[in-house]
Amino acid sequence: MKKEMNTDLFATGSVAKVVLTNVVPSVISMIMVLVYNLADTFFIGQTHNDYMVAAVSVATPVFLIFMALGMLFGIGGTSLISRTLGGNNVAKAKHISSFCFWVSSAVGIAGMFFIWIAMDWICNLIGASPDTIDYVRQYLGILAIGIPFLIISNVFSNILRTEGQANRAMAGMIIGNMLNVVLDPIMILTLGWNVAGAAIATVIGNVVAAVYYLAFYLSGKSMLSIKLQDFSMKNNIPLDVFAIGIPASLNSMMMSISNIVINKLMLAYGDMAIAALGVAMKVNMIAVMLLIGVGTGIQPVLGYCYGAGNRSRFMAVLRFSTLFAIGLSLVMSAVCYFGAAGLVQAFLEDDSALDLGMKFTRVLIISGPILGVLFVLINAIQALGAALPSLILSVSRQGLIYLPLLIIVQSFADSPEMIVAVQPFTDYLATILSFVLFIFAYRSHFPKRQIGEHTIATVEE
């Protein structure tokens, strides 16, 4: 089979073309993830049982934690592979991709059994109430079956982009998520399986997406590998994958943990407040997911430029991407703010939940205008392989900044809106921090030395 190597565009294509060629499929992939998330909540909402909506909202952080484990290998592997391909070391890139496949598969299988064994403990931890706990158990028990496939699809939807296969990465996301969306109304409403139907549709979608990605690697068309004989832990592969993967994974895990904490705080205001917050977060994801797509789309390009030692192209890609992200941020912020009423009404029936949902949505989107810059800088830091700045940013945004602020505000503010407002305030602080950390990472990982009139970039191995 002829191998499809499309990395030449990373090195020689125009900046606008290389960015848009990788960002557009990534953004479309994120739209599909968004559609899937909204569809689950929408069709559960059509049961006219807001306790089911609340149950899915409560269970979502668990799902996100396992997505975060996929990011450990997906983002960590992407960063290392793109830098390795930039240095023209295809053999090592194969070892890295095989390592990511086999270890992430083992983690996924372990996660599946963990959910089944620790179900009651998990339900209590995430704040399931007596009215929602049976729905949460049902949802998570089925969802566990798909955890290995969720992790595999999350890993390789990222790694595929390192070899210029952004369209294939997008296709897998579209196939899996569209299948989920099609199955949701059938299983939730037509068959009357409710939250169990939503979970089954999710599992099937993840299985199909994972099989699609694995079929590409087994076809022999990829320059990378998932073969066991290519598995290797030599040359610091685990350490280098985890150096970026753990901070990226921690960031997602901290988001899940912070969701659990805010759900437990919202419990004081009732299940309808939790349902309203869950819907508001999903509406806010309309902006967030698209902007995440911009960041993840450019990371392989930036990593390739770094691995090739091309400092000027790295900065040109970063500048174009930042401007593109700012424009998209402003547009999506306006859509979410002015469309809040109509969007929230599609998911909730209860008047009190509906009112809170609109308020929460408009509070959360306050940070919309700067989120694009934040996600671009996060991915730029990861592309440089800057482990310490990545780690600092990951534990700070939803951890060291968000959680203490959340506890402080909750202690003196008897208002759910004030509790929700902690997130946008945190995002502004995190954006400032990400800028400072990027400058530090860029100067330390991409140093330059002047020789006559030329600037020569030196890349650390």
| pLDDT value of position 446 | 76
State the virtual CA torsion across 446, 18, 239, 110 in degrees, nearest 10.
150
Residue-level pLDDT at 6: 60
pLDDT of residue 247: 86
456 φ, ψ to 5°? -110, 125
pLDDT at residue 450, as a whole number: 32
Listed as own residue / partner, the contacts of 14-20 with beta carbons closer than 8 Å and 24 or more positions apart are 15/313, 15/316, 15/317, 15/320, 16/320, 18/301, 18/317, 19/297, 19/298, 19/301, 19/317, 19/320, 19/321, 19/324
CB of 248 within 8 A of CB of 392?
Answer: no
pLDDT digits (tens, 9 = 90+) for 188-246: 999 989 899 999 999 999 999 999 999 999 988 888 999 999 999 998 999 999 998 88
Give 450's strand partners. 455
Among residues of the chain, what percentage have pLDDT more than 90? Answer: 44
- Predicted confidence (pLDDT) at residue 43 exceeds the cutoff of 60: yes
Q: Are 336 and 380 in contact (CB under 8 A)?
A: no
Phi, psi of 109 (to 5 degrees): -65, -40
- pLDDT at residue 11, as a whole number: 75
The mean pLDDT of the chain is 87
What the block records as the tokens of 356 is 């809170």
Contacts of 262 (CB under 8 A, 6+ apart): 277, 406, 419, 420
Which residues, other chains included, contact 433 with Cβ-Cβ below 8 Å and sequence gap of 6+?
392, 393, 396, 397, 401
Encoding tokens for residue 274?
A: 């939790």
Nearest partner of 215 among 257, 260, 160, judged by Cα = 160
Domain boundaries, the chain: 8-457
Global pTM value: 0.78
Q: Give CA–CA dist 59/132, Å, rounded.
A: 10
